[in-house]
Amino acid sequence: MEEFRLDPVDLTFDLISNERTGCRECLPVENAIKSIEFKGRYLRVYEIKDRVQPSRYQLDGKFFKRSNAHGYEELIVENEKHSADFVTYSADDIEKLLLVVSERLNELKTYDIGKNISVSRYVNGHDYWDLVILPIPMHNTQKCHVCESLNYVGNREIYKTENLIAYVPFSPKKNEVARITTLKHTAIEELDSVVAFDLANLIIKIINKFTNEITFNIKQSGADHFELDVLAGENDPIDTLGINRINYSPEGLQKKMSEKLNNGK
Ligand SMILES: [Zn+2]
Ligand SMILES: [Zn+2]
């Protein structure tokens, strides 16, 4: 069981986690809650019940149940076998996947799970998207911070199309090498095929020109305008929301340390 804790001083969140290492999708998962046709086979959607849990909404077919905690996570998996095919996909394939993610987020919007969306895709790993929706941390802004930041790109622009802009942020987040967003205020749930295709082409361009390991992370908070972060290495969707993962129990550690320090030997 995992648990969010808020630091009352700097108002940052920790996720106390007992996550095992290794590929997320190769860990045992329960039955798929949805299948979608993709490249002549099926991609499958799995709800993750041990991570951001207990989830407020448990998906079991079309049925959602409430529980006291919050947060939701699912994996959208293209490949049951452990392989990294993303680099071989065409722009049409990637467009289709982006639209699948958008559609899933649109479906989940009905359930008021939270405003913080983070969907990560580690290009060099198993073929899946790790989708997280959380009600924390809260980002309440009067104006759209994404539209606003586009006024201050200055000399940090790296690429532009009719629909998109890619730039290096003034104050990048951990591992962030570029940020891509739509020039027009667009919610990820309302992604259309024109923008998705444009985005797919830019993703392919980035993969082809930069051979390093990359994670793409779709991020959206209260302002309902999405950004796609390009991150170096393998990155966790929790981390990109600014939440620290702590892989031990503070109470468990207290017990161990206290025993050591207070026992004679
Ligand atoms: Zn795997
Ligand atoms: Zn905006």
Residue 29 pLDDT grade (very low, low, confident, very high; cuts 50, 70, 90): low
CA distances to 17, 22, 34, 132 from 54, in Å: 13, 22, 20, 13
pLDDT in tens, 49-91: 655 544 444 444 444 444 334 678 889 999 888 888 999 999 9
List CB-based neighbours of ion ligand 2 within 5 Å.
144, 146-147, 185, 225
Ion ligand 1 residue ranges (Cβ < 5 Å)? 23, 25-26, 82, 126
- Cα–Cα distance between 33 and 73 in angstroms, integer? 12
In angstroms, what is the span from residue 204 Cα to ligand 1's centroid? 22
What is the tens place of the pLDDT at every residue in 95-105? 999 999 999 99
Ligand in nearest proximity to the CA of 130: 1
**Least confident among 59-63, 134-138, 165-169:** 59-63
Q: Report the candidate in 249, 250, 228 with the shortest Cα–Cα distance to residue 240.
A: 228
What pLDDT score does 94 carry? 98
**Mean pLDDT for the chain?**
86
Structure tokens at 24: 């997320």
Instruction: Please answer whether residues 179 and 229 qualify as being in contact, where contact means their C-beta atoms are separated by less than 8 angstroms.
Output: yes
How many angstroms does the Cα of residue 24 sit away from the middle of ligand 1? 6
pLDDT of residue 7: 77
What pLDDT is recorded for position 138?
A: 66
Could you read off the pLDDT of 251-264 as tens digits, one per residue?
899 999 999 999 86
In the chain the domains, ranked by start, together with CATH numbers, are 3-19+27-249 (3.30.428.10)
Q: Which DSSP string corresponds to 45-67?
A: EEE--SSS-S-SEEEETTEEEE-
Predicted confidence at residue 157, as pLDDT, reads: 98
Q: How far is the CA of 147 from the centre of ligand 2 (A)?
A: 4
Of all ligands present, the nearest one to the C-alpha of 23 is: 1
Please state, in angstroms and rounded to a whole number, the distance separating the CA atoms of residues 35 and 198: 26
pTM for this entry: 0.88
